[in-house]
A and B are shown apart, each in its own frame.
Chain A
Amino acid sequence: MATTATPAGGSRNGTGPEWGGFEENIQGGGSAVIDMENMDDTSGSSFEDMGELHQRLREEEVDADAAAAEEEDGEFLGMKGFKGQLSRQVADQMWQAGKRQASRAFSLYANIDILRPYFDVEPAQVRSRLLESMIPIKMVNFPQKIAGELYGPLMLVFTLVAILLHGMKTSDTIIREGTLMGTAIGTCFGYWLGVSSFIYFLAYLCNAQITMLQMLALLGYGLFGHCIVLLITYNIHLHALFYLFWLLVGGLSTLRMVAVLVSRTVGPTQRLLLCGTLAALHMLFLLYLHFAYHKVVEGILDTLEGPNIPPMQRVPRDIPAVLPAARLPATVLNTTVKAVEVTLRSH
């Protein structure tokens, strides 16, 4: 044992023979083979390895001290330097081993690195995926490729939350901002996670080839259409325009998702069930966000401040005139919108 230990102790700089690699194995902690005769005894714990190394170094240190005792007598710092340095190296290694143990335990429980591969994207890729989410591809005989990433979907959900907040146009909303923030986040994340899980469950029933990650990514990118529609129609309150966008943009993104799912499912009944459910949920969610969400909002406003805001009308809605600060832009906008509507109606 001493023979294997001596080069390990002496060649600190790793310049020794093949035992230099032996050194690195210990520090990497990966190799279980330290010593053939101890192979059955080591439990793989690096503490035991370190303990053994420590033991060997102590023995070697004792030998070195005994050998150097005569000539280094009186050279106070010399002996202390040599012995102290060795003990420091050993302490260092013990510390490293302990740190490794602790970080291994920590990484088991608090490992966000599990998610790291799903965020490995380039901006160009995100851009192209956003555009592709609006383009249905008619190839249904071959499973279409779905990019399994989470950055794009997550950012789209947050953008949808921000757009929902932006849609609250009344000025005295700071209390409601607080309540609405929670509702907005809950709605968007609830839709993304809940509907993904539900469709994944249905896909499991229908034997579709899709994983949970792919479903999350697919639905997340499908929210891009929703973001566009809501951004436009929260600023221009024209119902005909909203229905047009709902069908066009919402329809395109739904078709894209449906095409992907159809390409991954076998059997007409299963395809119908899966794609029908997804299409219905996706389109209805957009409808809900535009109409019923506002109703929820106005319900909160009414209960908190009293009904001084006119109830939602089924005609192009004016931005409420109770908002004094926005009267000027509101007037301009409403005039433009009414003019457009009159033009449309006359055709």
Chain B
Amino acid sequence: MAEAAESPGEPGTTSPRPLFAGLSDISISQDIPVEGEITIPMRSRIREFDSSTLNESVQNTIMRDLKAVGKKFMHVLYPRKSNTLLRDWDLWGPLVLCVTLALMLQRGSADSENDGGPQFAEVFVIIWFGAVTITLNSKLLGGNISFFQSLCVLGYCILPLTVALLVCRLVLLAKPGPINFIVRLFVVIMMFAWSIVASTAFLADSQPPNRKALAVYPVFLFYFVISWMILTFTP
């Protein structure tokens, strides 16, 4: 703001303007757009960038979103205490994971007439309503996380369980037997623990420090139910 444009009618004037000194004391709230000429070059660049995403090609948009989703997947697979999932939340990843899980947990519709439809809906409803319930619970316990941030974290942390389902399907192609079951049990338990650790790494910071256990327990139940559905699945 100090380098605001000089009045064009007075080029080369070197006398100090008393009003500029006064300007530094006045606070202008940043989110009200500046009228007329853009006096802050940085700000104008940002606004130009925002409007230009409308004009970019669809491929650019999709690739950018895919990269953001992929980055978050990496954060879930290697959970560190970071704010990426919370800061720029999005629900694409959870949607993709939920649909994948629900599709793969279906039986083939050749078996009986009640298949397919209800199963997909059941898994979908369980995941989303479970996530909503956990979010409401953590908000009521006094957490300072927003609704969609929490949904985002819980959805992304289903990724290890989806991997477990893929592995289980592969293992089920082999001969059935107790070893089959034990392998699947082990895989599911590992991924279940991974999911809980990942979601705790992101969610625990938003809770008051003495109530973390209260917020984590429903997450444990939620992933337990999903793991149980995966473990007891046979094609």
Tell me the A residues contacting B by CB distance below 8 Å.
Answer: 74-78, 81, 84-85, 88, 91-92, 112, 115-116, 118-123, 126, 151, 154-155, 158-159, 161-162, 165-166, 168, 170-175, 177-179, 181-182, 304-305, 324-329
- Kindly state whether residue B229 has any CB partner on chain A within 8 Å: yes
Q: How far is the CA of A88 from the CA of B28 in the complex (A)?
A: 8
CB neighbours of B105 from chain A (8 A): 174
How far apart are the CA atoms of A59 and B63 in the complex, in Å?
Answer: 54
Contact residues in A for B123 (Cβ distance below 8 Å): 178
Query: For residue B92, which residues in chain A have a CB less than 8 angstroms away from its CB?
Result: none
Q: In the complex, which residue of chain B has the Cβ closest to the Cβ of A327?
A: B178
Asked if B232 lies at the interface with its beta carbon under 8 angstroms from chain A, I say: yes
Q: Which residues of A contact B17 (CB under 8 A)?
A: 75, 78
What's the Cα separation between A245 and B16 when bound, in Å?
A: 90
Stretch at the interface among B50-58, B152-160, B193-201, B214-222: B214-222
* List of A residues within 8 angstroms of B5 by Cβ: 77
Complex alpha-carbon distance, A154 and B221, angstroms: 12
Find out whether the CB atom of B234 lies under 8 angstroms from the CB atom of A172: yes
- B12 at interface by CB-CB < 8 Å: no
| B186 touches A (CB below 8 Å) | no
Pick the residue among A84, A122, A172 that contacts B35 (CB under 8 A): A84
Can you sample 18 A-B contacts with CB below 8 Å?
A77-B5, A78-B19, A81-B23, A116-B140, A119-B142, A121-B214, A123-B210, A161-B225, A162-B224, A162-B225, A162-B228, A170-B232, A178-B119, A178-B121, A181-B126, A181-B225, A304-B112, A325-B178
Which of A74, A81, A155, A172 meets B217, CB within 8 Å?
Answer: A155
Q: B32 on the interface (CB 8 Å rule)? A: yes
Contacts of B181 in A (CB 8 A): 325-326
B residues touching A (Cβ–Cβ < 8 Å)?
4-5, 7, 9, 17, 19, 23, 26, 28-29, 32, 35, 105, 107, 112, 114-115, 118-119, 121-123, 126, 136-137, 139-142, 176-178, 180-181, 210-211, 213-214, 217-218, 221, 224-225, 228-229, 232-234
Residues in chain A near residue B9, CB distance under 8 A: 74
For the complex formed, measure the closest distance between the CB of B203 and the CB atoms of chain A, giving whole angstroms: 16
A175 and B114: CB pair below 8 A?
A: yes
Known: A162-B225, A182-B122. 11 other contacts (CB 8 A): A75-B19, A88-B29, A122-B210, A122-B211, A151-B214, A155-B218, A159-B221, A174-B107, A174-B233, A175-B115, A325-B177
Chain B residues whose C-beta falls within 8 Å of the C-beta of A120 in the assembled complex: 142
Return chain A residues, CB-CB under 8 Å to B232. 168, 170-174, 177
Question: Whole-angstrom distance between the alpha carbons of A295 and B197 in the complex?
Answer: 37
Most chain-A CB neighbours within 10 Å: which of B28, B29, B35, B140? Answer: B140
Chain A residues within an 8 Å CB radius of B142: 116, 119-120
A176 vs chain B, min Cβ distance (A): 9
Q: How far is the CA of A118 from the CA of B137 in the complex (A)?
A: 11
Residue of B nearest to A79 (CB): B19
CB nearest to B229 among chain A residues: A177
The answer for the CA separation of A91 and B121 in the assembled complex, in Å, is 48
A116 and B233 CA atoms in complex are apart in Å by 38
A76 touches B7 (CB 8 A): yes
Q: Helix, strand, loop or mixed for chain A's interface?
A: helix
A158 to B122, CA, bound (A): 17
CA distance A120 to B142 in the complex (A): 8
A92 contacts which chain B residues (CB < 8 A)?
A: 29, 32
Q: For A172, what are the chain B residues with a Cβ–Cβ distance below 8 Å?
A: 232, 234
Q: A88 to B232, alpha carbons, bound, how many Å?
A: 62
Query: Smallest Cβ distance from A177 to chain B, in angstroms?
Result: 5
Residues from chain B with Cβ under 8 Å of A179 in the complex:
118, 122
In the complex, what distance in Å separates the CA atom of A119 from the CA atom of B32? 39
- Give every chain B residue within 8 A of A75 (Cβ-Cβ): 7, 17, 19
- Complex CA gap A12/B224 in Å reads 56
B137: which of A81, A119, A170, A173 is its contact (CB, 8 Å)?
A119
Q: Please provide the 4 A-B residue pairs with the shortest distance between their CB atoms, ordered closest to farther.
A: A178-B122, A325-B181, A328-B178, A78-B19
The closest CB in chain B to the CB of A330 belongs to B178
User: CB-nearest residue of chain A relative to B7?
Assistant: A76
CB distance from B222 to the nearest CB of A (A): 9
Q: Report Cα–Cα, A177/B140, bound state, in Å.
A: 30
A151 touches B7 (CB 8 A): no
CA distance A112 to B137 in the complex (A): 10
Would B177 and A324 count as touching, CB distance under 8 A?
Answer: yes
Chain A residues with Cβ below 8 Å from B221 are 155, 158-159, 162
CB distance from B4 to the nearest CB of A (A): 6
Complex CA–CA separation, A88 to B29 (angstroms)? 8
Contacts of A304 in B (CB 8 A): 112, 114
Q: Are B19 and A77 in contact (CB under 8 A)?
A: yes
Most chain B CB neighbours (cut-off 10 Å) among A173, A175, A179 = A175
Q: Which residues of A contact B28 (CB under 8 A)?
A: 85, 88
Q: Would A175 and B119 be within 8 Å (CB), given that A81-B26, A155-B218 are in contact?
A: yes
Q: Which residue of B lies closest to A124 (CB)?
A: B210
- Of all chain B residues, the one with the shortest Cβ separation from A174 is B233
